[in-house]
Structure 1
């Protein structure tokens, strides 16, 4: 049963919730502790202080020589002092190599280099605090990047001169419209995209609805189908139709077209009434209720279960419990960008510690759920250039308004998470890492990923900030199962929404570790895995077919016990 706070505990919750609202759901105590840890140990390290002072002097002298070379030889002939990281595109345009902007960008990169040295390798600093200080130093520096300022961005100045300032007028209009939308609590309109019209259009029927989810069964598109159905478990942090976007990039449509019987969970968008739903409820009334329905509609067939993000973590928990209990209804498990070991969660772990989680818990206790906007800020900071600064410059300084695509429309279709479930997820998995260490309980008994022996197909993405691929890869030493692992280009979303086509610029690596085979760490795996151009979707579909029986006539939509209730995409996906 949920804990009922005492009056004094309730007072603390109110204060903490007010603090969370004032700080954008970020814990000031966590940031302060990190800063104190770093600054105290730096203050006690005179040798390191001398080394940093020497670095600053060296950089200043080098910048002075660079200025001299620019004045004497011309900016195009002066050799750059420091090059940006390969993934940093801020100063890629030729205009940044002209005077005086070349000096500005070189000065900025040198400052960035100095702060990187200053925030790493200080003896005695706790590793989590070191990462936090380095992260916040980067955020502070990025805010003052010359590329983000009107007067110091050559591309903006060129556009302003060419358009006599019209770009700034448009930018002011866009800014006003966006601020009004933000004040009203409404995201920018996803113009041209409507769920059920040009998004989530694969034909099907809702065959089950409960307080947690709707289950959609998709209409077959072939005369014969693989006998084992596919059950997709998306994350409840997102609406399911990221896997059924437009017809040309719908993974669900692709599977149906290849002769698979496909079922997909569509999670309810919870509100205050669902505040006490926990992980056990999502397991019982989500995955297991869906699996029961699939088994009734397609009887005597094992199921290819597929999980994406948190849905993959839930699937791993469920599959481990089924293996523990001798339940053999699963034919295979496919996990897309899904972590099972949370000891190294990547940069997302910067926002998950005891101080941060307790602050979120207080705020969720007041509202009953976690809003999408409370998560969006953290994700934006993890990719501040791509998701924040480049868009601000493009929209408000250059006066560009890029057209919305289907993935952007989906991303604006926000969801919430129940307070109890989200707190359990953060504590049991992120903070305590109970699943990988064999402590996570299902039905009162712990489960072990070491019990997983069914064939597993896993996908990691190279630039994933939510589920870093090296963390996803860790299932290799947690389970003895046959694991086919794919590492594809792209991020957490775009790497998964990766349709095949002649114009695909993507590639992936793939390697199968036999059941009970030797463990390869991430670096060794990358060196051994073959690289294949294009989308990984066909490889997964062929893997599913290889683990399936001979084709049979397709099943009916629903049964007497699970009658069709509504056309796909159902009603839960439309809830705001």
Structure 2
């Protein structure tokens, strides 16, 4: 005689098996539908150019590989003083103009800003001898002079970003008569301000860079003439290893069926792949004199034979940084306030990361709004 408990167990097990099979088939159907849709999205995307940095602009001046552009206006002028964007040599300015709805450039234009841009081009071994002196006292100075001639103004506003913010700061200190206002975004000023920070992860780039032997930096520059863009790209990738491991599989699968999300992803990847080489001599100064020796805040950083004295900056300063920045620790940016003599200084920390400050939907409107409102309140 069959044990009724055995029959009950078999019935229960069969039900569970059947239920599990149904669930499996349902998942397969949903995934098939998702991948079918993804295939359609990919097929359509293959015919579309992944265009970045596409906001219309006019070439005004070219000097060597460096170009000065003026953006075409999109709204009635609300701020008369021209604004010159100074991006860093590490990366390309196109990051500020990835797409129409995620573009700091377009947002500022829509708020009536007269916007100009320096494009450093693609430096190679031919630019190995260029120093930060050349970029500040030659290229930026010539751009400022040209803007003044074109617009009739005697001063400009500098909008410096990351490494470009350091170049803009140096220019404002050495040429205070040419700078009406200074806006800095995620800019390191005190390169050692993170040393006493109990949270190490935001300063991993600083820790790694300071650990480089000076002779190794010299060896890279002497042999290659540049600090390769691929090398710096790999370094940034290693700073967020889990994101780097998952973005081409788990994260990408989530975006495949959504054309907008997929295009956002591809634009970021295109920008990352377009990382230029860093001129060797300027890179040597950047790594040894600033990251290692912290000369800018120590008052011993020299360009063109002159000490860059931060106390010489007289222009009003707006200093914006990201509170969750893993590349430029907030402390390194905030230190600027105690190093300058101008009485009109304002700093704002936004709750986002280094990249998110420019491309996240959360910060898109607020960043341009903060800058435009601050500029307008101080415009004559």
| Alpha-carbon contact 1:351-1:378 (below 8 Å) kept | no
Instruction: Return the alpha-carbon distance in structure 1 between the equivalents of residues 319 and 49 of structure 2.
Output: 31
| Alpha-carbon contact 1:193-1:409 (below 8 Å) kept | no
Q: Which residue of 2 aligns with 1:336?
A: 185
Deviates more, 1:406-415 or 1:227-236: 406-415
Secondary structure class of the residue paired with 2:105: helix
| Alpha-carbon contact 2:160-2:166 (below 8 Å) kept | yes
Q: Which residue of 1 aligns with 2:68?
A: 215
| Alpha-carbon contact 1:210-1:285 (below 8 Å) kept | no
1:472 aligns to 2:328 (yes or no): no
Residue from 380, 387, 401 that aligns with 2:237? 380
Distance 1:479 1:538, change over 3 A: same
Gaps of 5+ in 1: 1-157, 171-188, 499-503, 508-533, 550-576
Q: Which residue of 2 aligns with 1:280?
A: 133
Q: Which residue of 1 aligns with 2:79?
A: 226
Residue from 249, 259, 268 that aligns with 2:102? 249
Secondary structure class of the residue paired with 2:69: strand
Shift of 1:436: 0.5
Q: Which residue of 2 aligns with 1:267?
A: 120
Shift of 1:247: 1.5
Shift of 1:540: 1.3
Q: Which residue of 2 aligns with 1:422?
A: 283
Counterparts of 1:261-410 in structure 2 under 5 Å? 261-323=114-176, 328-344=177-193, 346-353=203-210, 355-386=212-243, 388-391=244-247, 394=250, 403-405=262-264, 406-410=267-271
1:240 aligns to 2:93 (yes or no): yes
Shift of 1:352: 1.4
Residue from 296, 303, 311 that aligns with 1:450? 311
Gaps of 5+ in 2: 1-22, 36-44, 195-202
Q: Which residue of 2 aligns with 1:183?
A: none
Shift of 1:430: 0.5
Instruction: Return the alpha-carbon distance in structure 2 between the equivalents of residues 191 and 341 of structure 1.
Output: 47
Distance 1:340 1:212, change over 3 A: farther
Distance 1:300 1:354, change over 3 A: same
Deviates more, 1:488-497 or 1:448-457: 488-497
Residue from 366, 370, 376 that aligns with 1:535? 366
Shift of 1:225: 4.8
Instruction: Return the alpha-carbon distance in structure 2 between the equivalents of residues 268 and 205 of structure 1.
Output: 15
| Alpha-carbon contact 1:307-1:336 (below 8 Å) kept | yes
Residue from 174, 181, 199 that aligns with 2:52? 199
Higher share in helix: 2
1:492 aligns to 2:351 (yes or no): no
- The superposition leaves residues 134-166 of structure 1 with CA deviations (integer Å, 9 ceiling, x where unpaired) of xxxxxxxxxxxxxxxxxxxxxxxx99x9669x9
Distance 1:450 1:162, change over 3 A: same
Q: Which residue of 1 aligns with 2:198?
A: none
| Alpha-carbon contact 1:227-1:301 (below 8 Å) kept | no
Secondary structure class of the residue paired with 1:229: strand
Shift of 1:342: 0.6
Q: Which residue of 2 aligns with 1:81?
A: none
| Alpha-carbon contact 2:132-2:303 (below 8 Å) kept | no
Secondary structure class of the residue paired with 1:227: strand
Aligned residues: 331
Secondary structure class of the residue paired with 2:174: helix
Shift of 1:276: 1.1
Over aligned residue pairs, what C-alpha RMSD do you find? 3.0
Relative contact order, higher structure (CA 8 A, sep 6+): 2
Shift of 1:251: 1.5
- The superposition leaves residues 29-69 of structure 1 with CA deviations (integer Å, 9 ceiling, x where unpaired) of xxxxxxxxxxxxxxxxxxxxxxxxxxxxxxxxxxxxxxxxx
Length-normalised TM-score, structure 1:
0.53
| Alpha-carbon contact 2:122-2:277 (below 8 Å) kept | yes
- The superposition leaves residues 545-565 of structure 1 with CA deviations (integer Å, 9 ceiling, x where unpaired) of 11112xxxxxxxxxxxxxxxx
